[in-house]
Structure 1
Protein backbone atom coordinates (compact mmCIF):
# COMPACT_ATOMS: atom_id res chain seq x y z
CA UNK A 1 0.00 0.00 0.00
CA UNK A 2 1.21 3.51 -0.79
CA UNK A 3 1.91 5.64 2.30
CA UNK A 4 3.51 9.01 2.85
CA UNK A 5 7.29 8.95 3.10
CA UNK A 6 7.18 10.12 6.74
CA UNK A 7 5.33 6.90 7.67
CA UNK A 8 8.10 4.65 6.40
CA UNK A 9 10.37 3.38 9.25
CA UNK A 10 14.10 4.04 9.29
CA UNK A 11 15.04 0.41 8.65
CA UNK A 12 12.92 0.19 5.48
CA UNK A 13 14.56 -1.08 2.31
CA UNK A 14 15.64 1.50 -0.28
CA UNK A 15 16.38 1.32 -3.98
CA UNK A 16 17.79 4.36 -5.74
CA UNK A 17 17.51 4.73 -9.51
CA UNK A 18 19.51 7.65 -10.94
CA UNK A 19 18.47 8.84 -14.38
CA UNK A 20 21.06 9.40 -17.06
CA UNK A 21 19.41 12.75 -17.71
CA UNK A 22 17.24 15.19 -15.82
CA UNK A 23 13.57 14.53 -16.46
CA UNK A 24 11.78 17.32 -18.28
CA UNK A 25 9.15 19.35 -16.46
CA UNK A 26 6.40 17.98 -18.71
CA UNK A 27 7.40 14.38 -17.82
CA UNK A 28 7.43 14.66 -14.03
CA UNK A 29 3.71 14.50 -13.27
CA UNK A 30 3.31 11.42 -15.49
CA UNK A 31 6.29 9.68 -13.89
CA UNK A 32 5.06 10.41 -10.37
CA UNK A 33 1.58 9.11 -11.25
CA UNK A 34 3.11 5.91 -12.65
CA UNK A 35 5.24 5.44 -9.51
CA UNK A 36 2.23 5.93 -7.20
CA UNK A 37 0.17 3.50 -9.27
CA UNK A 38 2.97 0.92 -9.20
CA UNK A 39 3.42 1.21 -5.43
CA UNK A 40 -0.34 1.02 -4.83
CA UNK A 41 -0.45 -2.23 -6.82
CA UNK A 42 2.93 -3.64 -5.79
CA UNK A 43 1.61 -6.11 -3.18
CA UNK A 44 -2.15 -5.49 -3.21
CA UNK A 45 -3.08 -8.59 -1.19
CA UNK A 46 -0.70 -7.76 1.68
CA UNK A 47 -2.33 -5.25 4.03
CA UNK A 48 0.88 -5.05 6.12
CA UNK A 49 2.99 -3.90 3.18
CA UNK A 50 3.81 -0.19 3.12
CA UNK A 51 5.84 1.56 0.46
CA UNK A 52 6.62 5.07 -0.65
CA UNK A 53 8.93 6.98 -2.92
CA UNK A 54 10.86 10.20 -3.36
CA UNK A 55 11.47 11.87 -6.71
CA UNK A 56 14.50 14.10 -6.20
CA UNK A 57 16.40 16.64 -8.29
CA UNK A 58 14.17 15.67 -11.24
CA UNK A 59 16.65 12.83 -11.65
CA UNK A 60 16.40 10.22 -8.86
CA UNK A 61 13.58 7.75 -8.32
CA UNK A 62 13.87 6.34 -4.81
CA UNK A 63 11.61 3.48 -3.70
CA UNK A 64 11.09 2.63 -0.03
CA UNK A 65 9.53 -0.62 1.21
CA UNK A 66 8.73 -1.42 4.83
CA UNK A 67 9.40 -5.13 5.20
CA UNK A 68 9.08 -5.26 9.00
CA UNK A 69 5.63 -6.90 9.01
CA UNK A 70 5.78 -8.56 5.61
CA UNK A 71 8.21 -10.46 3.43
CA UNK A 72 9.63 -9.03 0.26
CA UNK A 73 10.10 -11.92 -2.12
CA UNK A 74 12.32 -12.14 -5.17
CA UNK A 75 9.14 -11.84 -7.23
CA UNK A 76 8.31 -8.54 -5.47
CA UNK A 77 11.77 -7.17 -6.19
CA UNK A 78 11.57 -8.43 -9.78
CA UNK A 79 8.26 -6.56 -10.14
CA UNK A 80 9.91 -3.31 -9.07
CA UNK A 81 12.83 -3.83 -11.46
CA UNK A 82 10.38 -4.58 -14.29
CA UNK A 83 8.56 -1.34 -13.47
CA UNK A 84 11.84 0.62 -13.54
CA UNK A 85 12.74 -1.05 -16.86
CA UNK A 86 9.40 0.10 -18.29
CA UNK A 87 10.13 3.70 -17.21
CA UNK A 88 13.61 3.41 -18.67
CA UNK A 89 12.20 2.35 -22.02
CA UNK A 90 9.31 4.82 -22.07
CA UNK A 91 11.43 7.85 -21.20
CA UNK A 92 14.57 6.73 -23.04
CA UNK A 93 16.86 7.05 -20.02
CA UNK A 94 19.24 4.76 -18.15
CA UNK A 95 18.00 4.01 -14.61
CA UNK A 96 19.65 0.72 -13.69
CA UNK A 97 23.35 1.35 -14.27
CA UNK A 98 24.81 1.48 -10.75
CA UNK A 99 28.36 1.99 -12.01
CA UNK A 100 27.73 5.51 -13.21
CA UNK A 101 28.44 8.30 -10.75
CA UNK A 102 26.12 11.12 -9.68
CA UNK A 103 27.52 14.21 -8.01
CA UNK A 104 26.80 17.88 -7.51
CA UNK A 105 28.65 20.45 -9.52
CA UNK A 106 27.47 23.77 -8.21
CA UNK A 107 23.68 23.60 -8.14
CA UNK A 108 23.53 20.95 -10.85
CA UNK A 109 23.52 17.16 -10.55
CA UNK A 110 25.88 15.46 -12.97
CA UNK A 111 25.74 11.85 -14.17
CA UNK A 112 29.02 10.46 -15.52
CA UNK A 113 30.63 7.17 -16.35
CA UNK A 114 33.15 6.12 -13.73
CA UNK A 115 36.10 6.69 -16.09
CA UNK A 116 34.94 10.28 -16.75
CA UNK A 117 34.43 10.86 -13.02
CA UNK A 118 38.02 9.73 -12.38
CA UNK A 119 39.25 12.19 -15.03
CA UNK A 120 37.35 15.03 -13.34
CA UNK A 121 39.07 14.18 -10.05
CA UNK A 122 42.48 13.90 -11.70
CA UNK A 123 41.99 17.28 -13.41
CA UNK A 124 40.80 18.80 -10.10
CA UNK A 125 37.37 19.70 -11.53
CA UNK A 126 36.11 17.85 -8.43
CA UNK A 127 37.67 17.71 -4.99
CA UNK A 128 37.39 15.47 -1.96
CA UNK A 129 34.81 17.95 -0.62
CA UNK A 130 32.55 17.69 -3.68
CA UNK A 131 29.16 16.13 -2.93
CA UNK A 132 28.50 12.66 -4.28
CA UNK A 133 25.32 10.57 -4.22
CA UNK A 134 25.84 7.06 -2.83
CA UNK A 135 23.17 5.19 -4.78
CA UNK A 136 24.19 1.84 -3.27
CA UNK A 137 22.74 2.46 0.19
CA UNK A 138 20.00 0.07 1.30
CA UNK A 139 18.01 1.57 4.21
CA UNK A 140 16.00 4.72 4.80
CA UNK A 141 18.22 5.82 7.71
CA UNK A 142 21.29 5.55 5.47
CA UNK A 143 19.45 7.40 2.73
CA UNK A 144 18.66 10.27 5.09
CA UNK A 145 22.18 10.46 6.53
CA UNK A 146 24.62 9.16 3.93
CA UNK A 147 23.13 9.56 0.47
CA UNK A 148 24.55 13.04 -0.21
CA UNK A 149 28.05 13.16 1.24
CA UNK A 150 31.49 14.54 0.41
CA UNK A 151 33.51 12.27 -1.86
CA UNK A 152 36.11 11.91 0.92
CA UNK A 153 33.47 10.28 3.16
CA UNK A 154 32.24 7.83 0.52
CA UNK A 155 33.55 4.65 -1.03
CA UNK A 156 34.54 6.84 -4.01
CA UNK A 157 37.30 8.35 -1.83
CA UNK A 158 39.68 5.67 -3.16
CA UNK A 159 39.79 7.68 -6.41
CA UNK A 160 40.91 10.90 -4.70
CA UNK A 161 44.67 11.33 -4.73
Structure 2
Protein backbone atom coordinates (compact mmCIF):
# COMPACT_ATOMS: atom_id res chain seq x y z
CA UNK A 1 0.00 0.00 0.00
CA UNK A 2 1.22 3.49 -0.86
CA UNK A 3 1.94 5.66 2.18
CA UNK A 4 3.43 9.09 2.62
CA UNK A 5 7.23 9.04 2.57
CA UNK A 6 7.44 10.75 5.95
CA UNK A 7 5.60 7.88 7.67
CA UNK A 8 8.22 5.27 6.76
CA UNK A 9 10.87 4.33 9.30
CA UNK A 10 14.54 5.20 8.89
CA UNK A 11 15.27 1.51 8.33
CA UNK A 12 13.02 1.34 5.25
CA UNK A 13 14.67 -0.33 2.28
CA UNK A 14 15.62 1.95 -0.63
CA UNK A 15 16.14 1.36 -4.35
CA UNK A 16 17.46 4.24 -6.46
CA UNK A 17 17.18 4.42 -10.23
CA UNK A 18 19.12 7.33 -11.78
CA UNK A 19 17.91 8.45 -15.18
CA UNK A 20 20.35 9.03 -18.01
CA UNK A 21 18.64 12.37 -18.57
CA UNK A 22 16.40 14.77 -16.70
CA UNK A 23 12.73 14.18 -17.21
CA UNK A 24 11.08 16.89 -19.27
CA UNK A 25 8.54 19.08 -17.45
CA UNK A 26 5.68 17.67 -19.52
CA UNK A 27 6.63 14.11 -18.46
CA UNK A 28 6.79 14.62 -14.70
CA UNK A 29 3.11 14.56 -13.68
CA UNK A 30 2.42 11.43 -15.76
CA UNK A 31 5.53 9.75 -14.35
CA UNK A 32 4.52 10.53 -10.76
CA UNK A 33 1.04 9.08 -11.43
CA UNK A 34 2.58 5.88 -12.81
CA UNK A 35 4.93 5.61 -9.82
CA UNK A 36 2.08 6.03 -7.34
CA UNK A 37 -0.09 3.45 -9.12
CA UNK A 38 2.79 0.97 -9.20
CA UNK A 39 3.63 1.41 -5.51
CA UNK A 40 -0.05 1.21 -4.54
CA UNK A 41 -0.48 -2.07 -6.44
CA UNK A 42 3.03 -3.45 -5.86
CA UNK A 43 2.26 -6.01 -3.16
CA UNK A 44 -1.49 -6.15 -2.68
CA UNK A 45 -1.36 -9.65 -1.14
CA UNK A 46 0.14 -8.21 2.09
CA UNK A 47 -2.18 -5.89 4.00
CA UNK A 48 0.72 -4.68 6.18
CA UNK A 49 2.96 -3.75 3.24
CA UNK A 50 3.89 -0.06 3.26
CA UNK A 51 5.83 1.59 0.48
CA UNK A 52 6.40 4.97 -1.07
CA UNK A 53 8.48 6.69 -3.69
CA UNK A 54 10.40 9.89 -4.17
CA UNK A 55 11.15 11.62 -7.45
CA UNK A 56 14.26 13.72 -6.84
CA UNK A 57 16.11 16.32 -8.91
CA UNK A 58 13.86 15.49 -11.90
CA UNK A 59 16.22 12.54 -12.45
CA UNK A 60 16.09 9.96 -9.65
CA UNK A 61 13.30 7.47 -9.02
CA UNK A 62 13.49 6.18 -5.46
CA UNK A 63 11.33 3.35 -4.14
CA UNK A 64 11.06 2.72 -0.41
CA UNK A 65 9.49 -0.18 1.45
CA UNK A 66 9.07 -0.54 5.19
CA UNK A 67 11.92 -2.64 6.54
CA UNK A 68 9.67 -5.28 8.10
CA UNK A 69 7.98 -5.94 4.74
CA UNK A 70 8.93 -9.30 3.34
CA UNK A 71 9.64 -8.83 -0.32
CA UNK A 72 9.96 -11.93 -2.46
CA UNK A 73 11.98 -12.32 -5.62
CA UNK A 74 8.70 -11.98 -7.52
CA UNK A 75 8.07 -8.61 -5.82
CA UNK A 76 11.53 -7.38 -6.78
CA UNK A 77 11.08 -8.74 -10.30
CA UNK A 78 7.85 -6.74 -10.55
CA UNK A 79 9.76 -3.58 -9.60
CA UNK A 80 12.44 -4.21 -12.22
CA UNK A 81 9.82 -5.03 -14.87
CA UNK A 82 8.10 -1.72 -14.08
CA UNK A 83 11.42 0.15 -14.35
CA UNK A 84 12.08 -1.56 -17.70
CA UNK A 85 8.69 -0.32 -18.92
CA UNK A 86 9.61 3.22 -17.87
CA UNK A 87 12.92 2.96 -19.71
CA UNK A 88 11.16 1.99 -22.90
CA UNK A 89 8.34 4.50 -22.59
CA UNK A 90 10.58 7.48 -21.80
CA UNK A 91 13.59 6.36 -23.88
CA UNK A 92 15.99 6.59 -20.94
CA UNK A 93 18.40 4.36 -19.05
CA UNK A 94 17.54 3.61 -15.42
CA UNK A 95 19.30 0.32 -14.71
CA UNK A 96 22.87 1.11 -15.75
CA UNK A 97 24.94 0.84 -12.56
CA UNK A 98 28.17 1.82 -14.33
CA UNK A 99 27.46 5.53 -14.15
CA UNK A 100 28.06 8.38 -11.77
CA UNK A 101 25.68 11.19 -10.91
CA UNK A 102 27.14 14.34 -9.43
CA UNK A 103 26.38 18.01 -8.97
CA UNK A 104 28.03 20.59 -11.12
CA UNK A 105 26.80 23.93 -9.87
CA UNK A 106 23.01 23.74 -9.81
CA UNK A 107 22.93 20.90 -12.36
CA UNK A 108 22.99 17.16 -11.88
CA UNK A 109 25.31 15.40 -14.29
CA UNK A 110 25.20 11.77 -15.39
CA UNK A 111 28.41 10.24 -16.74
CA UNK A 112 29.70 6.77 -17.43
CA UNK A 113 32.30 5.75 -14.88
CA UNK A 114 35.14 5.83 -17.43
CA UNK A 115 34.22 9.41 -18.40
CA UNK A 116 33.95 10.38 -14.73
CA UNK A 117 37.48 9.09 -14.12
CA UNK A 118 38.68 11.32 -16.97
CA UNK A 119 36.97 14.31 -15.34
CA UNK A 120 38.85 13.58 -12.12
CA UNK A 121 42.14 13.17 -13.95
CA UNK A 122 41.57 16.49 -15.75
CA UNK A 123 40.59 18.16 -12.44
CA UNK A 124 37.12 19.01 -13.79
CA UNK A 125 35.75 17.52 -10.57
CA UNK A 126 37.47 17.55 -7.18
CA UNK A 127 37.17 15.85 -3.83
CA UNK A 128 34.62 18.49 -2.85
CA UNK A 129 32.32 17.68 -5.76
CA UNK A 130 29.00 16.34 -4.49
CA UNK A 131 28.11 12.89 -5.80
CA UNK A 132 24.98 10.82 -5.41
CA UNK A 133 25.75 7.47 -3.80
CA UNK A 134 23.05 5.33 -5.40
CA UNK A 135 24.25 2.25 -3.51
CA UNK A 136 22.73 3.34 -0.21
CA UNK A 137 20.18 0.94 1.23
CA UNK A 138 17.98 2.68 3.83
CA UNK A 139 15.88 5.80 4.21
CA UNK A 140 18.31 7.02 6.89
CA UNK A 141 21.21 6.70 4.43
CA UNK A 142 19.15 8.43 1.73
CA UNK A 143 18.56 11.40 3.99
CA UNK A 144 22.12 11.57 5.37
CA UNK A 145 24.60 9.96 2.99
CA UNK A 146 23.14 10.05 -0.50
CA UNK A 147 24.56 13.46 -1.45
CA UNK A 148 28.16 13.58 -0.22
CA UNK A 149 31.54 14.97 -1.30
CA UNK A 150 33.58 12.52 -3.34
CA UNK A 151 36.08 12.32 -0.46
CA UNK A 152 33.32 10.85 1.77
CA UNK A 153 32.20 8.26 -0.76
CA UNK A 154 33.49 5.08 -2.29
CA UNK A 155 34.41 7.13 -5.39
CA UNK A 156 37.32 8.63 -3.42
CA UNK A 157 39.49 5.75 -4.65
CA UNK A 158 39.60 7.53 -8.03
CA UNK A 159 41.04 10.77 -6.63
The verdict on a shared fold, with TM-score over 0.5 as the criterion, is yes
Contact 1:99 1:113 in 2 (8 A): yes
When the two structures are superposed, what TM-score results if normalisation uses the length of structure 1?
A: 0.97
Other structure's SS at 1:14 match: strand
| Whole-angstrom CA distance in 1 between matches of 2:48 and 2:67 | 9
Which runs of 5 or more structure 1 residues have no equivalent in the other structure? none
Question: For each residue in 1:62-111, what CA deviation from the matched residue of structure 2 results, as whole angstroms up to 9, or x when unmatched?
Answer: 0001131x311111011001000100000000000111000000000000
Q: CA deviation at 1:45?
A: 2.1
2:106 counterpart residue number: 107
In 1, the alpha carbon distance for the partners of 2:91 and 2:83 equals: 12
Q: Return 5+ residue gaps in structure 2 as ranges.
A: none
Matches within 5 A, 1:75-154: 75-154=74-153
TM-score (norm 2): 0.98
Q: Where has structure 1 moved over 3 Å in runs of 4 or more?
A: none
Count of matched residue pairs: 159
Alpha-carbon distance between aligned partners in 2 of 1:157 and 1:142, rounded to the nearest angstrom? 18
- Write the distance in 2 (CA, Å) between the matches of 1:6 and 1:57: 18
